[in-house]
Structure 1
């Protein structure tokens, strides 16, 4: 699946459908403010649906930043189906100490 995500590229926005998993937080360090937490959510079974005739599973469980658009959906429950537009970007897994 990872190879397919690389083929999608990060230049264009795409339409995805997924199943909501749960809310959480990612931890990071800011030199001025110290340790900080940013809200996130995990989604499952992410499909790209740019072409409704040819949907394709692209990843199993990415963690997404809990952006304003997601918070506008009200409280999501595990198993809720969501659809969103986004770009694909690479990220580093785990805690990163920026010192």
Structure 2
């Protein structure tokens, strides 16, 4: 499931349990748009996985909480805690490995 997050409260609710992949992006970023296609393809292989999309410019509380300085940034959260971070455009095999580990 890919879900666009629009509030800090919604993010906290969805990110607190299990393994969650978080895509911090910007609408004006070319690599971010390409990563969106990679995530959509990943969702087809792992439909039960939780993938949250966070607009860098619209969600300052989340960006500050996780100290995200650039986009695209991928955060892997387990039970609300960051366990891994990837910066820049990522390919499907690397992201699939994160979710399956």
Q: Shorter chain as normaliser: what TM range?
A: under 0.3
Look at both structures and tell me which one has the larger radius of gyration over its CA atoms.
1
Q: Tell me which protein shows more strand as a share of its residues.
A: 1
More helix by share: 2
TM-score (norm 2): 0.27
TM-score (norm 1): 0.27
